[in-house]
């Protein structure tokens, strides 16, 4: 049982969005789709919420209304072991959305994501000069290039 998990408030795309994420992230599947029956703010049969496991993390998606849009102040982070994995997730998550510096993007639903390499904490925990070089290199990137970060760390 999960005692803490995110709830994403969509206008009306909760099921579509979680199906999209399940198709991209490993170890993911839809857990439950809850529809309005006789009582509720939406027409009978409309999806009110969806729960899914996204790469092993429980996520609740709720269809609300448009008065509460997503913000960059909250993001989902997906950790990638390889450049190929990072590139694939980046392409699929950013399709129809907007890319930003340092591996950040918003997807076509407005949800903010950080697509980060697994090695990043290691590259940011070296001596201060190495960390500064990695940060300077990352600030010039949109999609993260793991090899370029490693070269920056090594001082090349």
pLDDT in tens, 85-118: 999 999 999 999 999 999 999 999 999 999 999 9
CATH number for the domain that contains residue 154: 3.10.180.10
Query: Is there a single domain that holds both residue 60 and residue 98?
Result: no
Q: Are residues 44 and 81 in the same domain?
A: no
User: Could you tell me the residue range of the domain that residue 7 belongs to?
Assistant: 1-66
57-63 vs 7-10, strand pairing mode: parallel
* One domain, residues 104 and 153: yes
Same domain for 51 and 30 = yes
Choosing from 23, 48, 66, the residue where a domain stops is 66
What does 87-128 look like in DSSP terms, one character per residue?
A: HHHHHHHHTTSEE-GGGEEE-TTS-EEEEEETTHHHHTSS-H
Give the H or E element holding residue 75. Answer: strand 75-80
Q: What are phi and psi of 84, to 5 degrees?
A: -60, -45
* Domain match, 92 and 138 both: yes
> pLDDT by residue (tens digit) across 10-38?
999 999 999 999 999 999 999 999 998 87
CATH number of the domain enclosing 28: 3.30.720.100
Q: Which two tokens stand for residue 80?
A: 């990638």
Final residue in a domain of this structure, among 50, 66, 82: 66
- Is the whole-model pTM more than 0.85? yes
Q: How many domains does the chain have?
A: 2
Write down which residue in 42, 66, 90 finishes a domain: 66
Residues 59 and 42 in one domain: yes
In this structure, are 50 and 113 located in the same domain? no
Residue 42 has pLDDT above 80, yes or no: no
């Amino acid at each position: 049982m999960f005692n803490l998990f995110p709830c994403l408030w969509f206008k009306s795309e909760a099921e579509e969005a979680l199906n999209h994420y399940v198709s991209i992230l490993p170890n993911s599947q839809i857990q439950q789709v809850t529809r309005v029956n006789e009582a509720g703010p939406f027409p009978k049969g409309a999806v009110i919420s969806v729960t899914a496991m996204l790469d092993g993390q429980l996520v609740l998606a709720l269809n609300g209304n448009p008065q509460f849009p997503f913000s960059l102040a909250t993001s989902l982070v997906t950790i990638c072991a390889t450049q190929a994995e990072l590139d694939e997730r980046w392409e699929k998550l950013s399709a129809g959305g907007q890319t930003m510096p340092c591996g950040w993007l918003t997807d076509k639903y407005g949800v903010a994501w950080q697509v980060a390499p697994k090695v990043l904490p290691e590259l940011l925990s070296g001596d201060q000069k190495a960390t500064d070089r990695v940060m300077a290199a990352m600030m010039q990137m949109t999609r993260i290039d793991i090899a370029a970060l490693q070269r920056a760390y090594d001082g090349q």
